Amino acid sequence: MFSTSCHYALQGILHIAYHHDEDRNIDLKQIAEEQNIPKHFLSKILQILVRKNLLVSTKGPSGGFRLKREPEDISLIEIIDAIDGMGVFTKCGIGFKQCSDDNPCPIHEDYKKVRHQVQFLFENKTLAGLVEDSKQGNSIINLSTV
């Protein structure tokens, strides 16, 4: 449903949120290595999140990335919207370009329900919630420092 760029954006910003400290930037190289994401690709993705006001980027020896807002104020839907756009929640499950409510594909109604459930999930999950679940051991995320 989501692009590789979107998955990497979610993983990268989750890593930053996990190490959230307003006075500390998280190094791009650290994120890329610990998340196993190509560094140059991740850099481009995180710069999009900077332009969308989700991250702050700082250059220099103590440079890197940090959240623009508190983790409880950033929902996952904002990250998805920044990278893939909200159109991902209206696309046909089979990929037909003409699929619509008036011209449905064979799975249109069933897939429409699933899309709405997925959209609701991402609207209601915040970075803080995911970090808290991980720190309590309720979920696993790919952070070698955990």
Number of Cβ within a 10 Å radius of residue 51: 11
Kindly report, residue by residue over 72-126, the tens digit of the pLDDT.
Answer: 999 999 999 999 999 999 999 999 999 999 999 999 999 999 999 999 999 999 9
pLDDT at 106: 97
pLDDT at 98: 94
Structure tokens at 89: 């929640």
Domains, the chain:
4-135 (1.10.10.10)
Residue 141 confidence class, pLDDT cut points 50, 70, 90:
low
Is the pTM above the cut of 0.85?
yes
d(CA 47, CA 50): 5
